[in-house]
Structure 1
Amino acid sequence: MNEDSPVLLSIDGGVGRIMLNRPDRLNAFTVGMHEALMRALDTLEADGSVRVILLTGAGRAFSAGQDLAERNVESGAPLDLGHNIETYYNPLVRRIVALPFPVICAVNGVAAGAGANIALLADIVIAKRSARFIQAFAKIGLLPDSGGTWTLPHLVGNPRAMAMALTGEPVDASQAADWGMIWKAVDDEAFDTEVEKLLMTLAAAPTAGLVETKRAIRRSWASTFDDQLDHERDAQRRLGLTNDYREGVSAFKEKRSPAFKGR
């Protein structure tokens, strides 16, 4: 592991751990970080032992979003921000949503701008109570990207999403949990223990079932009720043929803990 890399990666016990690693810049995104993060995701998808992913940040922030020092606005030359989004942010957020295992985001500090919206894409978001979520785009004349204008209204409703986006006011982790924006806020001193407990639970779970579950829930936002019933039927048919399903039923009947194989 190269400690100077903008993204740190490790794999152990079925858990792939990704840490954004620019703590001196609050883990703000650069082109180099985007490229390193995509390479890390390539590695995790190719490793058949991985059953859950942890995404977190080094230091006192999860991510402050885009590193504005990388953009030369002082020259007066036009900047094509759409190109930056199409080349880096959109491929990243699409990749995270489509990953074939659960993605856990452990928000260890401030998550602002694109950093907030990338965090909220995870399947489960757990945050330190001291963490804050900030839609900082309004402060610099932009709109929420990285899926923010889609994710936020679905999570917290239009009134709260609109206020967060238009004012840029911080929302602390406890409020985010109360609103349903994240799963839970955890006292800072208990955070690491709680995250590890969650990771160990999911690393030992039947991965195929978890992946079908997350895909079904995500697709429901754009499906009719009848379409969703058909999808549940088809997914359940696939899962009923897996070794993990047979192991789960056998363990239940035999009153023992199941030993799922995962991917």
Structure 2
Amino acid sequence: METIKFEMQDGVGTLTLNRPTRKNAIDAVMREELKEVVFSLPQNRDLRALIITGAGGTFCAGGDISVMGAGTLAPEEGRHRMRHDYLSWIETLLRLEIPVISAVEGAAFGAGFSLALTADIVLADSSSRFCMSFMRLGLVPDCAAFYTLPRIVGTQRAKELAFSARELNAEQAHVLGIVLEVLPQGRVLERAQQMARCFALAAPAALAMTKRAMNVSMNSSLDTMMDIEADAQAVARTSQWHTDAVQRFLNKKPSAFQWPGSLD
């Protein structure tokens, strides 16, 4: 891979955007490499959690503006490219049945902001800046931000962030619920790894079903969610993980799953 790195250790995958001289901006090569790697993730049965991050102190500056003016696409061709070259792998990320953590340092602008929002948990260090910068280029939010952002901050605030293209620092993003935790500069990846290792020890079926249920909850009725809950719990109760956890409890042993409270 020329523009990204993917590494796995103890069930934790780390996907690193690796064009630091271009602030990890997404060009055609990175787009294709991301698609190749992301499409392989659902088939990786050893993968228990995923971290998305950027090299060189920047998460992702968005699309590479230096190549945006290269050629003019007809609307039909441009739509096809967005749907199949971008949104296909973004959709795969959103549907992964494992916890995904974005570890953000520096800028997460445009498509970089959208990419961060595909995660279940967004962590940022104090240097981070977020911006739905599309309006500055006469574009609309992409990479599924129309779906993710309103669900996180609400429709009115999502409109304001898209209309204004204003920057948020890490604390402002935290107040809006975009960021779960703000870490000291240089420690965000460490915290993401700590969380991911914890997820790697959790019940995979319970995690997968919990994520899927949460993802559809806002578009579903009470009756639908009750059915999903009943079905999921029936499956979870038959898992070996649950059986072992009950035995550990009865034998007064600590649970194999222990959420890490904070960095030491």
TM-score (normalised: structure 1):
0.90
Q: 1:158 to 1:45 in 2, by over 3 A?
A: closer
CA shift digits 1:113-133 (9 cap, x unpaired): 111011111011111121011
Q: 1:259 to 1:154 in 2, by over 3 A?
A: closer
CA contact (8 A) 1:129 1:185 kept: yes
SS at match of 2:156: helix
Q: 1:69 corresponds to which residue? A: 66
- C-alpha distance in structure 2 between counterparts of 1:14 and 1:77, whole Å: 41
Q: 2:147 corresponds to which residue? A: 150
Give how far 1:100 is off. Answer: 2.4
Aligned length in residues: 256
CA RMSD of aligned residues (A): 1.9
Aligned with residue 183 of structure 1, among 165, 180, 185: 180
Aligned with residue 228 of structure 1, among 214, 225, 230: 225
- C-alpha distance in structure 1 between counterparts of 2:5 and 2:124, whole Å: 20
Give how far 1:158 is off. Answer: 2.1
SS at match of 2:59: strand
Identity score, percent: 33
- C-alpha distance in structure 2 between counterparts of 1:197 and 1:230, whole Å: 34
Aligned: 1:252 with 2:249: yes
Aligned with residue 135 of structure 1, among 119, 132, 136: 132
- Single out whichever of 84-93 and 214-223 deviates more from structure 2: 84-93
SS at match of 2:122: strand
CA contact (8 A) 1:247 1:259 kept: no
Give how far 1:78 is off. Answer: 4.9
Aligned with residue 126 of structure 1, among 120, 123, 127: 123
Structure 1 unmatched ranges of 5 or more: none
Q: 1:19 corresponds to which residue? A: 16
CA contact (8 A) 2:97 2:207 kept: no
CA contact (8 A) 2:16 2:53 kept: yes
SS at match of 2:141: coil
- C-alpha distance in structure 2 between counterparts of 1:212 and 1:203, whole Å: 15
Q: 1:133 to 1:45 in 2, by over 3 A?
A: same
TM-score (normalised: structure 2):
0.90
Q: 2:86 corresponds to which residue? A: 89
Aligned with residue 25 of structure 2, among 24, 28, 32: 28
